[in-house]
Amino acid sequence: MIRIGLTGGIASGKSTVGEMMRRRGAVLIDSDQLARDVVSVGSEGLAAVVERFGKGVLQADGSLDRAALGSLVFADEAARADLNAIVHPLVRAASAQVEAQVADPYALVVHMIPLLVETGRARDFDALVVVDVDEQVQLERLMARNGLDEAQARARISAQASRLDRLRVADYVIRNDAGLEELAERTHAVWHQLLALRDGTDSCGC
Ligand code: ATP
């Protein structure tokens, strides 16, 4: 099994690349999805969040009110650290559990993690793939996708690691500054390099 970290800035195209790799046969582990699962209704994670932040972070149906929690932690670094200290270990445990169920010894397991570099996990994988996009394109895609104005989009981008921080630790870089077809071709090229890495060959021979 080869363990691959996949990351990139907000709206860089991680999910799009992750899905392309999944279609090529990767086992895709989406840490954003797991982060939602670990605080689902009735979970140990949700109980811990309520204990720390109070019942005000719950909706009427007992599920997590993400907007309420988001506004509590957005401007308060200590609160954000507390939330991360609850959620991150649960997400790691859930990822490890999914990974432990992969029976195929030749599997390429792709861990898609938005804050991989920020959380110091760059060396936790056999290979690190970074989806890279210049800030202007990133800004436009983020504004279009999330309906944000420029100042809001810039604030979200600057709350993350810089492009340079990610590029410095990348083993493979997929540039996403062109269309989806080009992205598919570039993802395909990196996929072949990952297969070669798994097989211990310089080229995949396909
Ligand atoms: P987040 O970190 O916010 O979850 P992400 O890195 O997973 O984002 P995606 O959701 O894959 O990014 O892509 C962001 C947006 O940009 C989406 O609306 C997606 O459809 C679009 N997009 C991604 N790549 C391209 C491309 N090459 N051309 C046009 N649109 C693109």
Mean pLDDT of 26-47: 97
CA angle 84, 45, 19 (to 5 degrees): 70
Nearest CA to 34 out of 101, 103, 112 is that of: 112
Query: What residues form DSSP beta bridges with 132?
Result: 175
- What local confidence, expressed as pLDDT, does residue 57 receive? 96
- What local confidence, expressed as pLDDT, does residue 204 receive? 46
Query: pLDDT tens digits, residue range 107-121?
Result: 999 999 999 999 999
pLDDT averaged over every residue in the chain:
94
Query: pLDDT tens digits, residue range 134-182?
Result: 999 999 999 999 999 999 999 889 889 999 999 999 999 999 999 999 9
- What local confidence, expressed as pLDDT, does residue 203 receive? 53
Tokens standing for 92? 């790691």
Mean pLDDT of 41-57: 97
Mutate to test the pocket of ligand 1, among 6, 15, 174 (most ligand atoms within 8 A of CB): 15
Q: Find where tokens 């090229």 sit.
A: 189
Nearest CA to 13 out of 122, 154, 134, 151 is that of: 134
Model confidence at 11: pLDDT above 80:
yes
- What local confidence, expressed as pLDDT, does residue 148 receive? 93
Nearest CA to 174 out of 183, 166, 161, 162 is that of: 183
**53 membership: H or E segment, kind and range:** helix 44-53
- What local confidence, expressed as pLDDT, does residue 206 receive? 46
Model confidence at 205: pLDDT above 50:
no
- What local confidence, expressed as pLDDT, does residue 195 receive? 97
Give the whole-angstrom CA distance, residue 44 versus residue 49: 9
Pocket of ligand 1 (CB under 6 A): 8, 10-16, 114, 141, 145, 176, 179-180, 183
Model confidence at 98: pLDDT above 90:
yes
Nearest CA to 12 out of 83, 99, 115, 108 is that of: 115
Q: How many CA atoms lie within 13 A of 184 on its CB side?
A: 6
Mutate to test the pocket of ligand 1, among 31, 141, 166, 188 (most ligand atoms within 8 A of CB): 141
DSSP reduced 3-state for 200: coil
Mean pLDDT of 10-15: 96
Strands (E), 9-105: 27-30
